[in-house]
């Protein structure tokens, strides 16, 4: 596994996302078995960063993560847990309540990284960060970050946060590079902020590009592993793929160790241009 280190914090290049664990926007208890199996597989393989949110299955994802950690006798201090406060809960008191609820569902004393999940029109960002700063002061949260923030909002967040903004979690993948074009990636790389790429292989439903397939064959890897390797080859970029399939969970984890050449990276950068269609 490769790692990124910023502000005396070291994170694995590839973590485990939990969207659809336990349901989607509401709990789906019929998926508990497959969700628990996926979490157990990830912990046994060696994932240490688990990303969740109060929105995921209306908190049930957090409950299942906490349960899986206990059932596998995983050591809390060896894990890095990220959760997120929903945009409708960004008032001062609501932020504090949301965090308390997440801690209760996770059955943990602290969250390693707490993010604002989405910006909201008319949100009072200073008040939200006043609450987030208090959570850090009280030891209930170790680090702060944001998600889906544009460059302007990211800079504002830095000004309101009393501790370094650790990450901006955004959709970033082949072929979608909108957060390259809007300047967020470059700014984060220059200012010691991690870009956490979510939905990193969303093109699973899209025709696999010829270049991607050729590079995958050269490494005896899947196209999805190469897409992850392309992401984590970039400085200050980590990613959080998710799968219910134990084989895919293992393949995603192993993708961090695939070394792409500069020429392969450049080919992938250009792989979805019109000339390559």
In-domain check, residue 17: yes
pLDDT computed for residue 272 by the predictor: 78
In-domain check, residue 213: no
pTM of the full predicted structure? 0.96
pLDDT computed for residue 277 by the predictor: 39
pLDDT computed for residue 128 by the predictor: 98
Domain that holds residue 103: 8-200
Q: How many domains does the chain have?
A: 1
In-domain check, residue 222: no
In-domain check, residue 143: yes
pLDDT computed for residue 274 by the predictor: 53
Half-sphere CA count of 203, side-chain side, radius 13 A:
20
Residue whose C-alpha is closest to residue 99's, from 137, 54, 162: 54
204 DSSP 8-state letter? G
In-domain check, residue 245: no
In-domain check, residue 98: yes
pLDDT computed for residue 275 by the predictor: 42
Which residue positions in the chain have pLDDT lower than 70? 203-208, 273-277
Residues with Cβ < 8 Å from 6, sequence gap 6 or more? Answer: 164, 166, 192, 193, 194, 236
Pairing of strands 165-171, 194-198: parallel
CB-based contact 166:113 (threshold 8 Å): yes
Residue whose C-alpha is closest to residue 56's, from 37, 94, 82: 82
Q: What is the CATH number of the domain that holds 112?
A: 3.20.20.100
In-domain check, residue 72: yes
Could you count the other beta carbons within 10 Å of the beta carbon of residue 76? Answer: 15
pLDDT computed for residue 184 by the predictor: 98
In-domain check, residue 207: no
Centroid of chain to Cα 218 = 28
**SS3 of residue 194 by DSSP:** strand
């Amino acid at each position: 596994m490769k790692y990124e280190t910023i502000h005396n914090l070291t994170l694995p290049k590839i973590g485990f996302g939990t969207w659809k664990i336990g349901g989607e926007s509401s709990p789906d208890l019929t998926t508990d078995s497959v969700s628990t199996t996926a979490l157990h597989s990830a912990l046994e393989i060696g994932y240490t960063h688990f990303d969740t949110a109060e929105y995921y299955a209306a908190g049930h994802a957090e409950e299942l993560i906490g349960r899986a950690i206990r059932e596998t006798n995983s050591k809390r201090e060896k894990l890095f847990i990220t959760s997120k406060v929903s945009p409708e809960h960004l008032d001062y008191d609501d932020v504090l309540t949301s965090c308390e609820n997440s801690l209760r569902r996770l059955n943990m004393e602290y969250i390693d990284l707490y993010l604002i999940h989405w910006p909201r029109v008319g949100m009072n960002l200073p008040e939200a960060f006043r609450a987030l700063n208090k959570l850090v002061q009280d030891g209930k949260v170790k680090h702060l970050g944001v998600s889906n923030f544009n460059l302007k909002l990211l800079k504002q967040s830095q000004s309101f946060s009393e501790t370094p903004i650790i990450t901006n979690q955004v959709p970033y993948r082949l072929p979608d590079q909108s957060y390259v074009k809007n300047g967020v990636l470059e700014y984060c790389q220059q200012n010691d902020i991690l870009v956490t790429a979510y939905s990193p292989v969303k093109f699973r439903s899209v025709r696999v590009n010829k270049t991607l397939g050729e590079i995958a064959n050269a490494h005896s890897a899947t196209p999805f592993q190469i897409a992850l390797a392309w992401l984590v080859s970039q400085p200050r970029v980590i990613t959080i793929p998710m799968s219910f399939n134990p084989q895919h969970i293992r393949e995603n984890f192993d993708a961090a160790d695939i070394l792409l050449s500069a020429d392969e990276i450049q080919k992938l950068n250009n792989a979805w241009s019109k000339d390559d269609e």
